[in-house]
Chain A
């Protein structure tokens, strides 16, 4: 039964205003640090000031005596939980090195936890940290993948004889032979530097243990409540039912770093159990800069072979990935590996990853997750083909795109989810056409030529991408008729601003066929739904979406059956609408959902119920995607480069996107705009710089410029809709596509603007200094 048949008013596909907004607008949001925990201690974490050092000793006695301090913990006090935290995504050839919740005998990045002080309030806890004396034996640090791989480099992990964390090669066709025979081969190196997630709310954890109920309750501003509960249960030797993990109703942004598992998440609940008190730790911004996982730093050495018409024959990319001091997970570089081919038909591919340990904050997923880097290599080379052959870059793209009738399209590599990289659906030529309808290329070339004569340097750049989204293994939803006769949708995944309370109410109301006012959506509490994965990899719409849909269809069937019994008619003779079930041919004969709940959910103690009456009206569904679905998109930018100052102004932006069926256009567009802003940051501003030893140089917003409303232009959006055949709703992920092509396209545009100078911009972000260096024919790190 489709949604269209089951409901008169369709909510899916409309821009319903968000249910979340009211509480957030009146200052009544429920972010973790807004919750009233009653009497509660606060923790502060002493962090390593050195990129690499052995710890000779730690003296904490003075700190323990400090005013307001109740306890100070170091590795010496944390024996039972000093366990190696496993990477989220691993690989058989990973050179796995242990990662502990807190430094044991060495520190490997500035920011690594060394001790925890717990006091009456955060101010006193921080005072106590100043009284802790750590005797460090300094070692040379590794501040880049180049230094990690250099001859005689210091070892990040002394137990290993190499800084290489993993070395993986994927191939399709015969790339080496193709490179030997290709009529043209171009090579270049592209560097993408580190950047951060910078959710406006940092990480946060609070916990308390109820001995009477044997219940550990943990509040965690996480994207993945069930994953954290699973990690804690393993670490503490508890069952999953002994731990209730609550991701608060409001989480102040996620963007990837909050989908990882950190030492602080292991430490704070354990300390709360140990002290028999409520304890919370709120990451401040400085801590976020030096301890929340980051991303992006990769160096790509790419070769591309093509024929005289610009058809790509072979793509070979060998890239270094900065894993940071520990392997939190290999998802980012493995996604990069399979994102390289993009929307193009490339018969021969060599994709080679060398991930390195360095003495910097561990890296992990960050909105885009390895994809912007891949796109910033391949899409740059596509423009170089055009330059080499004297073709328009859009024309080179047109000649190489996978066509709309070629799906499913098997690329010949494997994706990060373990499945073959097989694109499910798309219309890449429609994306290109959509951008070119909005930016008239011949007209632009005329304008560009006139501007150049006037000493103004305009450039046009395009970036296209294909993004695996909607990853497995599963996601779940539970739908229930409450005793008050309302519909309660419980999601395992928790949102960080994506509007689940609105979107899933739209979906549920349509599928069940009730007024949306009778539907409520809750999320993020492991005690209300036993299993789940969480919000990451633009996966929730394409996994929780079909699960909600399936559960709601089953609930609808139960409600109709219950209504039929209550009304004394055949189930085929009843309809569902508003908040009641009615007889189809006698609409005045009706029973409300609340009346049904009184019979089906509550019943009368000891009294028999009609055997045909469904009881405990509830449905749970889990959706297991066969493999990823593939979102796609394009970004075209016109830039104006000031060749005196090196400043880049983005004067025109067209962003086209295909995430299949759109559930709430306002919310999807909002995701586009937000991701786009992050892409502008990555293209032009944001760099988590480190010195050569691994000392961070950007630890405040004075050094790390986040784009404001003055820097982020308004992109013109358009959507192409290629429904996914892999789920019942035809949906794909929408959270990252607005970012992925932006750095590549802007770099292409800047290089187009600088063509009279022959300047190359191979290192992102394109700061004024780097742009000036390109104009002057030098390179700048």
Chain B
């Protein structure tokens, strides 16, 4: 039988990491060269964070670190030492979607859903800075992430719906 795939580090230097993910402290050992995205996905099995380009362009891997939206593909896990990390898995309260997630569903802001987590985290960080009230502001807030499915229409509408209570009866 081949060796256990999970064990070999290939001689890479290993460090001990401690940080907080979605409010829970975690401690683990990691190859120094590994990205934060890799640790979240592989070691912590928080697979909602996706890797779309691994060169910091598409934004699918966006998470919030100490309050700032960052590309977890470009950030080494070692840089998250002691940090407070928020991922898409931390948004909903149990089974109940948060307002932004609910707005995404209501406005068909996702199709394949691969980029969705990144959009949610970028927007979550942006909305904490203040409301998005115009279409231009919404597009600006969305412009750091790429979606190939929706043409951004539903995303813009979802963001704007949070600014003002539309008063519309939601469709089923």
A→B interface (CB under 8 Å): 14-18, 20-22, 24-29, 31, 33-34, 36, 39-42, 66-68, 70, 119-121, 123-124, 127, 198-201, 250-253, 255, 275-277, 284-286, 496-499, 666-667, 669-670, 672-678, 700-702, 706, 708-710, 712, 714-715, 738
User: What distance in Å separates the Cβ of A665 from its nearest Cβ neighbour in chain B?
Assistant: 10
Give the residue of B4, B33, B34, B108 whose beta carbon is less than 8 angstroms from that of A18. B108
B137 to chain A, nearest CB (A): 11
- Partner pick for A497 among B47, B111, B138, CB 8 A cutoff: B111
17 additional A-B residue pairs with CB within 8 Å, beyond A34-B41, A285-B53, A497-B113: A21-B104, A24-B110, A26-B88, A27-B49, A27-B91, A29-B48, A29-B114, A31-B114, A67-B8, A123-B34, A200-B58, A200-B115, A253-B148, A670-B111, A706-B146, A709-B139, A709-B142
Report how far A123 CA is from B54 CA in the complex, Å: 13
In the bound complex, how far is the Cα of B10 from the Cα of A66, in angstroms?
8
The answer to whether A712 and B112 touch across the interface, beta carbons within 8 angstroms, is no
Binds A, one of B13-21, B74-82, B152-160: B152-160
Which B residues are CB-close (under 8 A) to A708? 142-146, 152
User: A674 — which chain B residues lie within 8 A by C-beta?
Assistant: 111, 148-151
> Is there an interface contact between B105 and A123, defined as CB atoms closer than 8 Å?
no
Would B48 and A27 count as touching, CB distance under 8 A?
yes
With A201-B50, A285-B55 as contacts: A710 and B140 at CB distance below 8 Å? yes
Considering the chains assembled together, what is the distance between the CA atoms of A251 and B138 in angstroms? 27
Q: Which chain A positions have C-beta within 8 A of B3?
A: 70, 120
Provide the bound-state CA to CA distance between A647 and B152, in Å.
Answer: 21
B interface size (C-beta, 8 A) = 71
Task: Name the CB-closest residue of B to A29.
Answer: B113
A590–chain B nearest beta-carbon distance, Å: 26
Contact A714 B146 (CB under 8 A): no
Q: Are A200 and B52 in contact (CB under 8 A)?
A: yes
In angstroms, Cα B108 to Cα A22, docked, is 12
A67: chain B residues within 8 A (beta carbon): 8-11
Cα-based distance from A738 to B148 in the complex (angstroms): 13
What are 9 A-B pairs at a CB distance below 8 A? A29-B116, A34-B48, A200-B50, A253-B112, A276-B1, A277-B5, A499-B111, A677-B152, A709-B142
Residues of B within 8 A of A666 (CB): 108, 171
Q: Are A25 and B50 interface neighbours, CB within 8 A?
A: no
Chain B residues with Cβ under 8 A from A497's Cβ?
Answer: 110-113, 149
B50, B88, B151: the one within 8 Å of A252 (CB): B50
Within the complex, which residue of B89, B97, B115, B172 is in contact with A22, where a contact is CB–CB below 8 Å? Answer: B97
Chain A to chain B: the 3 pairs with minimum beta-carbon distance, closest first: A27-B48, A252-B114, A497-B112
Contacts known (A120-B10, A123-B34, A708-B146); A285 close to B108, Cβ less than 8 A: no
Contacts A673-B150, A700-B55, A714-B156 known; A25 to B112 CB distance under 8 Å? no
B69 close to A (CB within 8 Å): no
Contact, CB under 8 Å: B50 / A670: no
**Interface code B21-65, partner A: CB below 8 Å = 1, 0 otherwise?**
000000000010110000001100111111111110110100000
- Which of A17, A275, A667, A715 sits near B171, CB closer than 8 Å? A17
Closest to A699 in B: B55
Q: Does any Cβ of A come within 8 Å of B7's Cβ?
A: yes
A-chain residues with CB within 8 Å of residue B113 when the two chains form the complex: 20-21, 24-25, 29, 250, 252, 497
Q: Which residues of chain A are near B143, meaning CB under 8 Å? A: 708-710
Chain A residue with the shortest CB-CB distance to B154: A670
B118 to chain A, nearest CB (A): 9
A383 to B9, CA, bound (A): 63
Interface residues of B in 89-122 (CB under 8 A from A): 89, 91-92, 97, 101, 104-106, 108, 110-117, 120
Separation in Å of the A383 CB from the closest CB of chain B?
Answer: 25
Q: Which residues of A contact B1 (CB under 8 A)?
A: 276
Task: Kindly state the separation between the CA atoms of A39 and B5 in the bound complex, as whole angstroms.
Answer: 6
Given that A26-B92, A39-B4, A255-B148 are known contacts, is A702 also in contact with B97, CB under 8 Å in the complex?
A: no
Residues on A with C-beta less than 8 A from B120 are 25
Instruction: Select A706's contact among B49, B144, B148, beta carbons within 8 Å.
Output: B148
- Let me know if B164 is at the binding interface, CB within 8 A: no
Contacts of A285 in B (CB 8 A): 52-55, 58
In the complex, the answer to whether A21 meets B148 with C-beta atoms within 8 Å is no
Q: Give chain B residues whose Cβ lies under 8 Å from the Cβ of A673.
A: 150-154
In the assembled complex, the Cα of A63 lies from the Cα of B58 at a distance in Å of 32
